[in-house]
A and B are shown apart, each in its own frame.
Chain A
């Protein structure tokens, strides 16, 4: 089992390191300790050690696996799984990561926010580690998207530069769209295989290839892989990603990010490969990319641009190998992936050194660096030779294997197969040409005089990563079987299993056709470079023959179309900014949905015998309905009347609750009615005056109103019919029986509604009071910046009279009574709270009641008087209430029960009676405090505006302009 824990550590360490680095101050570097670099280096080293510790189990032919179930019903687990292939990639991620951290320590300028850089780098390492160690396909896609995200952040690290932003955006758009396709493909794959578990999927290869959904799944997954690995026609993002700092390019664009696509194709090779479709898609994309990338690379003037296109070409080579459907080609693909990572990372680093020490990486300006930085020059030359495929270096051996494979494949009947050896040789010629250009252009020729900085050798430690990698190139190139052999073997066996072919890793295979092709490529490349010298020295931008083909321009045109023209057209056609239209559509769509749901069954009324109509309720609802209609009619010009009528309708609802055995509801409804009415009354004062205009409204407005009236009547009718149809049926057996039966025996209360609220569904209630608190705070925050309209700033007419001393005796008698009532109402509030568990009442009603008590004081004494005499701290009430409710829930956790489990007992208070002491009671007190606090906070916040605005008010305008009504 410790093996599995090593994996977990290898995954978590980079993430924890990223978090810790991100928390370092931005100037940590200038304090001189390089703390962030040390931290990042230590994390990378530890991750490498963790992978190394888990490796023996893998080398023995096993699979290290750790599964942490999450939602097993949906097949979602965190599965870490390392076999040979994953191990090779994990070593590259951690190992090259370590070297890049060391390199970046010297490369990055202290002026940059370096902790941010290392935090992103480590997070990327964590994402990559998660990707290669995933044992679950969904999890793999998750980490896949994380790598896209962090590569975006890393490419755009110098976000003050426009190319960095554009390059980052382009990389993210392309790779993340590919990621979406990949997710869809993986979902299909999981659907076919019946599981997202990698082991399961890998075992279901034959089933998957025979499935009718194989082709869609394949295309979608390959879309993901080919975009990530910058394969034609998605290759255009990689050169633009070179705007990233060079350590990022060395890490992401040689060894990790772009290899993720290769990794995925190799990972799923046993499942997806072996078909015609696989060969045609993967093989074609690989071959075109191989040739195109190599050709374009020759004509790049920027050293990083050259390396970017060379990377594209090498990725094409690996993709082509994977596409050949041959186990031996698979061996070559994995081998070349490792080799490419070493020589390309070192070349990127060498380019970074040149850029760092001379101030430019334009090959046209650079020249003769061999004399000023001889050591770096030697290193770069060896690495470039490996890239060109010169014998005795690692690139030669894998390239030789590639050439052999193309020759083997050429015996197949299709023209594409027969073309392969020629294409491979041609690409080899191009590769030699651009490698020569890289070396010859930068290091030979006369010494450049006009460089931004005087070139010299970099610090020794900055060169060390390059030395390590170049050493690797040479050792593997000279003694392949003794060094890389065992690792390659483990990786290949993990993919191919028993089908692993015999292959020999040797430098010398005798004089054969592949060797001849290699030599031809070397000679041809040198000749080509010689012939092109004049053209290249002229410094012309762009690639001959391919000038018209610009992926970037096409991409930008597509983006403009999608995000601007197309989006605007859609918005114009389908969108509206007008609330009325939106609500109208909402109502109509709802009605339509109801009709559609009814259509197949038809509407039938239920067969239940109706209960006898009670004249009292009938009367109540005659009044209630009249109130509702009148409120709807009056809400425009007579707001106060509409408000009163709304209250009338509310009271009818309230009476209905009383009548039909819902005392709790009636109580709450009544209190809410009171508070709402007062709230709206307080708000009315700020509304513009609106005078009814006789005969207002043109025929168009009348038409609009007629249409709305039709919709409203339709909606009302629909509601009536549906309600009636429902009420005339028996309600289905729900969970109410269960609540009724257990309210007392297990909840300890006789008021079932209250027990449901504070116990059975306490978590809902907890969420609800949280919402209430948030709303109150929002109200408070919105009103802090409240700026009333100019014409409503002055005091209202009644108050002006009061201020002039005309109405001293404003509500004198009621005022006194209301003040006296305060303790009484307070006592009732507490009473309601305490008895709530057994009788109608409870925290909601109690809290509202206490708020009403405060409200009455405001009405009796005015805002200023209350604020002088009574200090209510609504925020403290709210905080206390929420904490108490949460604390009650958490206490159950301490007792080892689920959150909000309640406990109850009765406390005997002698002649006062028996008080139920349930933990739910404490919860209810929390509800009480929060409801009280929130309500008072809202009321006070609105009421306080009158005082506040008048203090700063200019003298009231003489005549307030009336706004004429319109519809």
Chain B
């Protein structure tokens, strides 16, 4: 199981990095999204992989870490997902503005001579 997820993180991250280095703005956005999946999964994996143990307590009790998934990476990833969404939106708009201003979609705003 660990190997599968490690491979998943690697493939998502590698694809993301490949796209980061491409010259088109849209490629960059897709790449950043893929990279953020990889990073989120990596952070999430810090809580390891318990099955069927969501961190939702029985009312009135104090939780024992042995019986529940680690809530901390989860809450960190949750905020990361939302902020990731916001940055994607921002990139998108910057991409559109650049497209309108420069007439093209090269990341440097102009095609290399």
Contacts and interface: CB of A to CB of B under 8 A. Distances in A.
Interface of A: 577-580, 583-584, 587, 610-614, 617-618, 621, 624-625, 628-629, 631-632, 635-636, 639, 642-643, 646, 649-650, 652-653, 656-657, 659-665, 668-669, 672, 675-676, 679-680, 683-684, 686-688, 690, 708-709, 711-713, 715-721, 723-724, 726-728, 731, 734-737, 739-745, 750-753, 756-757, 761, 764-765, 768, 771-772, 775-776, 778-779, 782-783, 785-790, 838-840, 844, 931, 934-935, 938, 941-942, 945, 963, 966-967
Contacts of A715: 13-14, 17
Contact of B1 (A612, A639, A669, A741): A612
Contact of B111 (A656, A669, A966): A966
A717 B103 contact: no
A712 B17 contact: yes
Contacts of A942: 92-93, 96
A676 B85 contact: yes
B6 A724 contact: yes
Interface in B78-113: 78-79, 81-90, 92-97, 99-101, 103-105, 107-108, 111-112
10 contacts: A611-B2, A642-B26, A679-B92, A683-B92, A687-B105, A688-B104, A688-B105, A727-B48, A740-B68, A938-B89
A650 B35 CA distance: 11
A775 B45 contact: no
A771 B90 CA distance: 12
A298 B69 CA distance: 85
B1 A786 contact: no
A243 to B, nearest CB: 42
Contact of A679 (B17, B41, B88): B88
A632 B12 CA distance: 9
B44 A628 contact: no
Given A672-B85, A768-B82, A942-B92, A723 B5 contact: yes
Nearest to B52: A661
Contacts of A764: 79
Contacts of B60: 744
A772 B37 CA distance: 19
B92 to A, nearest CB: 5
B62 A665 contact: no
A247 B44 CA distance: 66
A59 to B, nearest CB: 61
B103 A740 contact: no
Contacts of A788: 96, 99-100
The 4 closest A-B pairs by CB, nearest first: A716-B14, A720-B10, A740-B63, A712-B18
B26 A687 contact: yes
Contacts of B68: 661, 740, 752
A611 B49 contact: yes
Contact of A934 (B40, B86, B92): B86
A527 to B, nearest CB: 73
Contacts of A782: 93-94, 97
A866 to B, nearest CB: 19
A783 B92 CA distance: 11
A717 B99 CA distance: 34
Given A629-B15, A942-B93, A752 B86 contact: no
Contact of A719 (B1, B9, B44, B65): B9
B23 A967 contact: yes
Contacts of B70: 731, 734, 736
Given A716-B14, A724-B3, A775-B86, A662 B44 contact: yes
B2 to A, nearest CB: 4
Contacts of B104: 688, 963
Given A611-B2, A719-B14, A744-B59, A731 B48 contact: yes
B65 A736 contact: yes
Contacts of B20: 583, 587
Given A709-B18, A775-B86, A782-B93, 15 more contacts: A631-B34, A632-B15, A632-B31, A635-B31, A639-B26, A660-B44, A668-B78, A686-B96, A716-B15, A740-B65, A743-B71, A750-B58, A752-B55, A765-B79, A771-B86
Given A580-B107, A661-B69, A967-B23, A628 B88 contact: no
Nearest to A715: B17
B62 A745 contact: yes
A613 B100 contact: no
B27 A844 contact: no
A967 B107 CA distance: 11
Contact of B10 (A624, A717, A838): A717
A635 B30 contact: yes
B47 A753 contact: no
A768 B95 CA distance: 23
Contact of B22 (A636, A718, A745): A636
A789 B100 contact: yes
A771 B28 CA distance: 22
Contacts of A742: 62
Contacts of A578: 108, 112
A660 B92 contact: no
B5 to A, nearest CB: 7
Contact of A753 (B8, B45, B46, B78): B78
A629 B11 contact: yes
Contacts of B31: 632, 635
Contacts of B28: 579
Nearest to B15: A632
A757 B40 contact: no
A586 to B, nearest CB: 8
Contact of A649 (B6, B17, B37, B107): B37
B83 A643 contact: no
Given A686-B99, A739-B72, A756-B71, A652 B8 contact: yes
A662 B93 contact: no
A723 B3 CA distance: 9
Given A580-B107, A629-B15, A635 B26 contact: yes
Given A579-B107, A636-B27, A740-B65, A844 B45 contact: no
A787 B101 contact: yes
Contacts of B14: 712-713, 715-717, 719
Contacts of A741: 62-64
Nearest to B84: A672
Contacts of B5: 621, 656, 723, 727
Given A632-B15, A741-B62, A839-B56, A643 B69 contact: no
Contacts of A653: 12, 37, 40-41
